[in-house]
């Protein structure tokens, strides 16, 4: 099937007993309600806190620590969904904030394959489903495979790369 690739476990999306207990929230006939319950259960157990996890912290370690960022929330959600046999993938992108606020960092969320509906997104950090304010860059098995930029650099030990991205609502004027 289309989503079978996204049932594979990775080092970042391994599950354990605690993650499988969370996954029980998503089991049942109403998958939408179940995955909303899973999203809220993860957000209740893992506080959003910048700087407390390593870039590639596994879902099991983050859940045990009880704090992390959007990529950590997504990894736990993905691990839980896959532990009950539901395809899940990591999405990397940006979120256009309300009231002209500047988006300062990448954002991440998860999607699960729901029969009859297709890929459905869940932003665990903001406890909501993605809207048209979400800008998708890449999808993958986890944050490593969905990295928007990846490469190898040779030489030039004194070089640094600085990238800045502003996400803003474009003002379109209709021509008559």
- Full set of structural domains in the chain with CATH: 4-140 (3.10.620.30)
Distance (Å) of CA 137 to CA 41, 93, 96, 143, 159: 27, 5, 13, 12, 26
Q: What integer is the mean pLDDT of 156-174?
A: 61
Task: Examine the pLDDT at 114 and tell me if it is beyond 90.
Answer: yes
Other C-beta atoms lying within 10 Å of the C-beta of residue 59: 29
Q: What integer is the mean pLDDT of 110-131?
A: 95
Task: Give the residue, 12 or 50, on which the prediction is more confident.
Answer: 12
| 105 phi-psi bin (left φ>0, alpha ψ -120 to 50, beta other) | beta
What is the pLDDT, as a whole number, of residue 152?
62
* 82 contacts 13 by C-beta, under 8 angstroms: yes
What is the pLDDT, as a whole number, of residue 146?
80
Mean pLDDT (the chain, rounded): 86
pTM for the model: 0.84
What is the pLDDT, as a whole number, of residue 153?
63
% of the chain at pLDDT higher than 70: 78
């Amino acid at each position: 099937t289309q989503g079978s690739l996204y049932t594979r476990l990775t080092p970042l999306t391994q599950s354990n007993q605690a993650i499988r207990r969370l996954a029980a929230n998503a089991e049942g006939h109403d998958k939408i309600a179940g995955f909303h319950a899973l999203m809220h259960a993860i957000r209740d157990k893992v506080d959003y806190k910048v700087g407390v996890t390593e870039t590639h912290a596994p879902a099991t370690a983050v859940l045990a620590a009880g704090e992390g960022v959007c990529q950590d929330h997504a990894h736990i959600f993905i691990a839980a969904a896959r532990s009950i046999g539901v395809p899940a993938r990591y999405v990397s992108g940006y979120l256009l904030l309300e009231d002209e606020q500047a988006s300062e960092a990448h954002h991440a969320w998860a999607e699960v394959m729901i029969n009859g509906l297709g890929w459905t997104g869940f932003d665990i950090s903001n406890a909501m489903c993605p809207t048209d304010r979400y800008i998708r860059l890449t999808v993958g098995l986890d944050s490593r495979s969905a990295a928007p930029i990846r490469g190898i650099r040779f030489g030039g030990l004194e070089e640094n790369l600085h990238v800045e991205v502003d996400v803003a609502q474009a003002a379109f004027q209709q021509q008559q």
